[in-house]
Structure 1
Amino acid sequence: MPPRHILIAGDASHDLFLYPLPASLDSGGSSQRPRTHWFRGGVGLLAHLLNGSEQSGPRVDIYQPNLAGSENPTIHPPIQSVIELKLHTPNSQDPPTYSLKRKQRLNVEHRWHAPEIPSSSSDNGALSLCIFQDAEGFFNDGDSEIAITRFNQTRPRFLLYHMARPLCSGKIWEAVRRGPFVRADKQDPQRVIVVVSADDLRAEGIELSYGLSWERTCEDFVEQLGSTGKLVTLVTCAHLIVLFGCDGVIYHRGLQVARPMLFFDPLRAEGEFARENLGPVPGVAEAFVAGFAKAFMQSEDFNFEDSIESGFWAARRLARHGLSMQSPDSSCPLVYDASKIMGNLNRVKKGKLVRFSIPSDDIGQGNERNWSLLDHTIGDSADVARRIVKEGPHSSANLVPSARFNNLVLFDRHEIESFRTLFNSLAEYLAVPESRPLSIALFGPRNSGKSFAALQVAETASKGHKVRQLRYDLSQFTQLDDLLSAFHSVRDCTLEGFTPLVYFNGFDSDFAGSQSGAGSQFGWLPYLLAPMLLGKFSDGGVSRPIGPAVFFFGATRIKTYEKLKLRADADTGNITRARDFLGCLHGFVDMPGPDRVDHGNGVDRLYPVRRAVVLRALLEAREPNLKSGDQMNIDESVLNGLLLTPYYRQGIRSLRSIIAMSRLNNRRHFERAALPPQAQLDLHVDYNTFMKYMRGLPIPDRIREELAEKLHNVYYNHRAKYASPEEIKRLKRWNELDEELRESSRAHADSIPQKLRLVQCFLAEKQEYREPIKQFTIDQVELLAENEHERWNAERLQKQWSLGERAPEKRSSPFLIPWEDLDPEYQEIDRIMVRAYPTILPEPYYIYKMGPKEISPKGVS
């Protein structure tokens, strides 16, 4: 491999760190007084990380500016930032760790620092990467000219521009954005790499939502990236890398007709990793740049995607471990542990990072509005649901986006976005409570888990605050005094120093004593409006303040916000006050619940996933012996029935009842015999429908009939080629078959989706950007054929066929034997049948391989 170099140039911010010592290390007893430490950020930090990392791969020489003497407090240049650090209590054997508490930037001129130009870096055989560390402001004209001259002289192979605000500004960017020089008069824009943070894009006017869902982030990125015209040179650069904290990265290729790539942690949204660890840590972006640059220059083919992953893990390590201190007497006590941050980045195994090709064309045209990463990364939501039940919601096999709020785990994109919005509202309110309550409405079917979900999110958002949960069911209140008593209890909580988290169920229930008339559906609303709007309630003519509180209002009859809004708009008489109620809300959540939602904008494919989390929890609580480690032992057909049946009569309550009635005491496996009998099952689910779904998601009747006929035609055509004259006489076309044999062919069609799972494939309507499988491999055909013969055996035996001569009229067959005992010519019949699956499927159905929809190109020459 030719020699490789990394040249580091740009801003070396001179920062003053203020940090407290833990009492155990503060011999002077002055731990309350902050200590100070000078540190060179920017290129100084980049050089520290790159020089301090192990040379585990091909050698890369690092050339950096000479910053000697910058730590001497008598000669240091003006301070550019004052950084106050927060101490985190470590284990007794470890040094203390620090994160960012606050940072104050000072209005000081920035200086450009450049390394000595190595003679070998301009050799034709050398491959070099020049890192430009931008300043948070402008360089003076003299430094800019020096930077441009050095860049022109060095002629690196690649330029990595770590851009800071103001974006796309200054003489240096104007000179280098067209790329490194390949000749004296020619630059190559394909060799420009820009790294920028999503927060800096937001500050420049690009509307990127924060931490709602990765789907929403993708949509905003595609639709909003070009919304600010002054950033055109950034949007159209060859390689743009956007950092979303330590949780995700988008790689955009502005000079190619290529879809952007999203790299994301499926278990976290933007900002969550930092919140779960130390909080913000100075230098995380520089850690990403260093990790990326090292991996990029050590890869043979300049692999962008793998290098982005390396940068991601370097940034995460710094965010997890923070800044540390070697000893209070050290001349350089605050350190970035380069070996810990940069070591073995190419062999990170913990915490899989998912790569995803963003469907930018469809998003840009408005065609992708109900898509989910679950569909794109796995394809078969029913299979994801099975994995959640069997392996747990956070199994490494479930690399799909999820959100967790205490005991509430969500996989449905729209629920994730709704509850993250709710979480953000709660966190903001609890940080600075107001004098009136925060009011949130929750809509959904009965027994969809609204109260559980709301209070789990509230409990997560309220960590570190004094809160108390209260629940009231307005549908059980019979008089106004019941509600007044509830308000007094809420007020008592606030007087005791707690913030009450109050769930009012049934705000849309009847109240006979309503001012709106007897039995009004919204009769309670007139008595809720004043507490919501003013934070006060009237008791015997005395107005009593409630104080800070969170009010959740659960609907029992109105299933969506939109339906209540339509009802309120139609209320011309203003009797029910529904319109006023909506005006007092600070937010709402629509919860579809565990049943399939029949809506007009597409098929609800995610209901098995929503139900899976609940089912897993119910099984764990019902019989712990069902688990072996993290694996839940449950029969496949039972799992299908419980997960895939579209509707339960009483929602989650019915699912809980079925599990409770099942014979599972001390059982280590949930088999079919453990299910309740038909009469009990039918109390909570349509029994015939349940039995149907135990085989898996059924094929639509029209498709099923057409597929059954085509399967029979495949069999007929193959047998007609090789059968004897006597056998040909017994062969019958589809329209000549009796109903029992037609039903056998339909059962074969029903079994196809389940068999496809054996070879990691699934049957679905046409999916864009997925390549349908045109033929199976030899091994796949063998596995499918053997499984088909086993299915055929079971079908015949259940219909009382016996082993004997070939006589259908006597329900006798010589083929009721194991697969391995079949003669090769009859094994071949099953192979022919399963081999035909991809070619006989009626439109719009296709067979796809499970996994991501598309793999993008990785390197650049």
Structure 2
Amino acid sequence: MKTIVTGDVTIDWIQWPIKSHEITDYSENWKTHLGFHRKALEGRALLLAKMLKEIVPRVEHPQILGKPENTSPAEFVHSFADLELYNGKYLIKSFLGYTGPEKGLPKLPFKFKDTKADIIVIDDAGNGFRELKEKWPSSIIEDNPLIIPKMSAPLFEGKLWHHLQKNHQENLIVIITVYDLRELGANISRRLSWERTAEDFIWQIHHNPLLAQLKELKHLIVRINLEGAIYYQAGSKAKLFYHPQLFEGDLNAQSPGRMQGHGCAFTAAFTATIQKGLEIEEGIIEGIRSSQKLLDEGFGSKPDYPTSKVFSGGDEANIGIVEIPPVERLEGWTIATSPPHFDIKSVSEHIVIEGYKEKKFPLPIAHFGKLITADKTEIEGYQSIRNIMIEYLKNERVERTLSIGVFGPPGAGKSFAVSQLAASVDPENIKTLNFNISQFRDENDLIGAFHQIRDAVLKGKIPQAFFDEFDSPYNGKKLGWIKYFLSPMQDGEFREGDTTH
């Protein structure tokens, strides 16, 4: 079986600092200053082809004329990234952006052996290839091969998409990301629960007119970052692929740096699985595993795309699979109540006594510091608060405090839950302060608490102040303490006599 890989090509420039111990000769002045190594790598369609060739034979692909570093942005889009060494491997410290032609589309002057193929993989990055019909393989026009377009925003636009939709509807396996679906206008929640992501997707595909054309796709794969995917087929059949202990974006959040090329790794592993005659579900699992492995490997110790290591085998991906019910049966659906059925109480008891074993219970378990929960409602509640905390901490110009009300009977674990949520967000910088309002005699005690909060800020910490029993009476008045919280909550300040702090 023969495969052609084509599409948009980028030249990926990476640079990393020269350490002082690498320079032994200081005869020239420039060597006394901070320096950088720079390297140009072949990206997008050429990276995808390079990855696929690591797994299967008979892969045809374009070749650029000359060396990557000698190409112009008018020919191929150039990307730029700063690398940093983390634990013996280079990862992206900051992505610097792109450079392309000043006017029009990139020329894409590659040479290409145009032959018939059984599978055509297209990296459609929205950078010109979709409009340059003269660059398309002739099999797209003349034959009916299996076509796997890996598509980026803007989705479902351009000559290529309209041609594929009109002439190859039965032969398409479309790969996109949930991020690009959101950019298109799909209201799909982030990091609440795997069930909520799946529910939102199904609802959007049936009710959002911007996604109407997706309903007719025979095979649609939506990558959910590095941790999961949704496989949708025309007629409402859909499956969710998910990591039981991770949620969307967790792996990137846990990594000290970033990596690029995950979509290429996913698509290469997926295509190789299909070329070997295996099922689409197996291809999705291999795609997820390979994209995760790419982050694990980074650019290596001598920066380059680590194609051989990414596809060298290793541990199986810890991925659960569950069917998503049709839109009319979504209400109340959970992974725990889907085959195989799980009893949350029994699972929770087992975790408390025996510890969590991933392969025994492939249902979502959320970890927030020392807090563990397997209940969908709890997971979504805690995740929503954690997401608010994360967004709040990203704001460099905070004008008011983040105030969260937590309600429940004594002993329900309110204090513990909130402190563990904060610990899971930024344990290094958050300082927890606990106060019990029922033990305060008058407002001077409250002012003393506010000063402790202020002291933490002055020391460069982020204070997390927990006011227990805030609804206690004061001077015989029900909820009498509330009015003293209004100014700190609304304006981030409090008064002490005639002085405002």
Q: How does 1:186-205 map to 2 (within 5 A)?
A: 189-205=169-185
**CA 1:204 to 1:77, structure 2 compared with 1: closer, same or farther past 3 Å?**
same
Counterpart amino acid of 1:172? L
Contact preservation (8 Å) 1:70, 1:77: no
| 1:136 Cα deviation after fit | 2.5
In 2, Cα distance between equivalents of 1:76 and 1:538: 59
Determine whether 1:540 maps to 2:500: no
- 1:309 corresponds to: 285
User: Using the alignment, how far apart are the partners of 1:78 and 1:156 within structure 2?
Assistant: 30
In 2: Cα distance, 1:352 partner to 1:481 partner? 54
Rg comparison, structure with higher value? 1
Say if 2:11 is the partner of 1:20. no
2:130 corresponds to 1:164? no
Matched, 1:252 2:252: no
TM superposition shift of 1:208? 1.1
Correspondence for 1:393 among 356, 363, 368: 356
Counterpart Cα distance in 1 of 2:32 and 2:47: 29
Q: Using structure 2 for the length normalisation, give the TM-score.
A: 0.91
Matched, 1:237 2:238: no
1:110 to 87, 106, 109: 106
1:407 alignment counterpart = 370
Q: Is the aligned partner of 1:354 residue 2:350?
A: no
| Per-residue deviation, residues 126-146 of structure 1 (Å, max 9, x unmatched) | xx21101103243485x2244
Contact 1:70/1:76 (<8 A) preserved: no
Q: Is the contact made by 1:8 and 1:115 (CA closer than 8 Å) also made in structure 2? A: no
For 2:194, the equivalent position in structure 1 comes to 214
Query: Which residue is equivalent to 1:457?
Result: 421
Give the CA RMSD over aligned residues.
2.4
Change (3 A) 1:64 1:358: same
Q: Could you list the per-position Cα deviations for residues 767-824 of structure 1 after superposition, in whole angstroms to 9, with x for gaps in the alignment?
A: xxxxxxxxxxxxxxxxxxxxxxxxxxxxxxxxxxxxxxxxxxxxxxxxxxxxxxxxxx
1:446–1:134: structure 2 CA closer, same or farther, 3 Å change rule? same
How far did 1:110 drift? 3.4
State which of 270, 280, 292 in structure 1 corresponds to 2:248: 270
Read off the aligned partner of 2:53 and give its amino acid letter: N
Tell me if the contact between 1:239 and 1:253 (Cα under 8 Å) persists in the aligned partners. yes
TM-fit CA distance, 1:306: 0.5
| Number of the residue aligned with 1:284 | 262
1:527 maps to 484
Aligned residues of 2:239 and 2:321 also touching (Cα < 8 A): yes
Q: 1:136 aligns with which of 122, 126, 130?
A: 126
The more displaced of 436-445 and 422-431 is: 422-431
Distance of aligned partners of 1:139 and 1:30 in 2 relative to their CA distance in 1, 3 Å threshold: farther
| Secondary structure of 2:454's aligned partner | helix
Measured in 2, the distance between the counterparts of 1:232 and 1:442 equals 40
AA aligned opposite 1:196: I
Structure 1 residues 214 and 129: alpha-carbon distance in aligned structure 2, compared to 1, 3 A threshold:
same
What does 1:435-584 align with in structure 2 at a 5 Å threshold?
A: 435-465=399-429, 467-512=430-475, 518=476, 520-544=477-501
Aligned positions, number? 490
Q: Which amino acid aligns with 2:417?
A: A
1:366-402 CA-partner distances (Å, limit 9, x unpaired): x543332222253322331233134313543121112
Rounded to whole Å, the distance in 2 between the matches of 1:218 and 1:97 is 34
1:176 to 164, 168, 175: 164
For residues 416 and 74 of structure 1, do their structure 2 counterparts lie closer, same or farther at Cα, with a shift above 3 Å needed?
Answer: closer
User: What is the CA–CA distance in structure 1 between the aligned matches of 2:9 and 2:406, rounded to whole Å?
Assistant: 51
1:717-773, CA deviations, whole angstroms, 9 ceiling, x for partnerless residues?
A: xxxxxxxxxxxxxxxxxxxxxxxxxxxxxxxxxxxxxxxxxxxxxxxxxxxxxxxxx
- 1:414 Cα deviation (Å)? 1.8
Report the secondary structure of 2:237's partner residue. coil
Matched, 1:5 2:2: yes
Aligned equivalents of 1:312, 1:26: Cα separation in 2:
41
SS at match of 2:226: coil
1:48 corresponds to: 50
Please report how far the alpha carbon of residue 149 of structure 1 lies from its aligned counterpart in structure 2 after TM superposition.
Answer: 3.9
C-alpha spacing 1:139/1:393, structure 2 compared with 1 (3 Å): same
Moved more, 63-72 or 159-168: 63-72
The CA deviation at 1:27 is 5.4
Alpha-carbon distance in 1 for matches of 2:189, 2:32? 44
User: Does the residue aligned with 1:373 lie in a helix, a strand or coil?
Assistant: coil
Say if 1:444 and 1:372 are closer, same or farther in 2 by CA, change over 3 A. farther
Tell me if structure 1 keeps the 8 A contact 2:415–2:466. Answer: yes
Q: Tell me the equivalent position of 1:66.
A: 63
The 8 Å contact of residues 221 and 231 in structure 2, kept in 1 or not, is answered as yes
1:297 is the counterpart of 2:275? yes
Deviation, structure 1 residue 341: 0.8
Distance 1:34 1:82 in 2: 17
1:151 maps to: 140
Contact 2:487 2:493 in 1 (8 A): yes
- Once the two structures are superposed, what CA deviation does each residue of 1:662-707 show, in whole Å capped at 9, x if it has no partner? xxxxxxxxxxxxxxxxxxxxxxxxxxxxxxxxxxxxxxxxxxxxxx
SS in 2 for 1:292: helix
* Cα offsets for 1:56-101 (capped at 9, x unmatched): xxxx41111122414242677545233223313334xxxx322252
Note closer, same or farther for the CA distance 1:75–1:411 as it changes in structure 2 (3 Å cut). Answer: closer
Aligned-partner Cα distance in 2 for 1:486–1:428: 26
Q: Helix, strand or coil for the counterpart of 1:398?
A: coil
State the shift of 1:522 in Å.
Answer: 0.8
Please tell me the residue identity of whatever aligns with 1:176.
Answer: L
TM-score, with length taken from structure 1:
0.54
1:223-254 deviations in Å (ceiling 9; x for gaps): 11245535433342111000111011000112
Distance 2:495 2:114 in 1: 79
State the distance in 1 between where 2:60 and 2:122 align. Answer: 12
**What are the ranges of 5 or more consecutive residues in structure 2 without an aligned counterpart?**
26-30
Secondary structure of 2:336's counterpart equals: helix
Partner amino acid for 1:292? Answer: F
| Displacement of 1:323 | 1.3
Q: CA 1:11–1:426 in 2, change beyond 3 Å: closer, same or farther?
A: same
Unaligned runs of 5+ in 1: 122-127, 181-188, 327-333, 513-517, 545-861
Letter in 2 for 1:269: F
Say whether the 8 Å CA contact 1:42–1:286 is kept in structure 2: yes
> CA separation of 1:250/1:74 partners in 2, compared to 1, >3 Å: closer, same or farther?
closer
Secondary structure of residue in 2 paired with 1:521: coil
What is the CA–CA distance in structure 1 between the aligned matches of 2:126 and 2:383, rounded to whole Å?
31
**Given the superposition, is the C-alpha separation of residues 250 and 17 from structure 1 closer, same or farther in structure 2, using an over 3 Å criterion?**
same
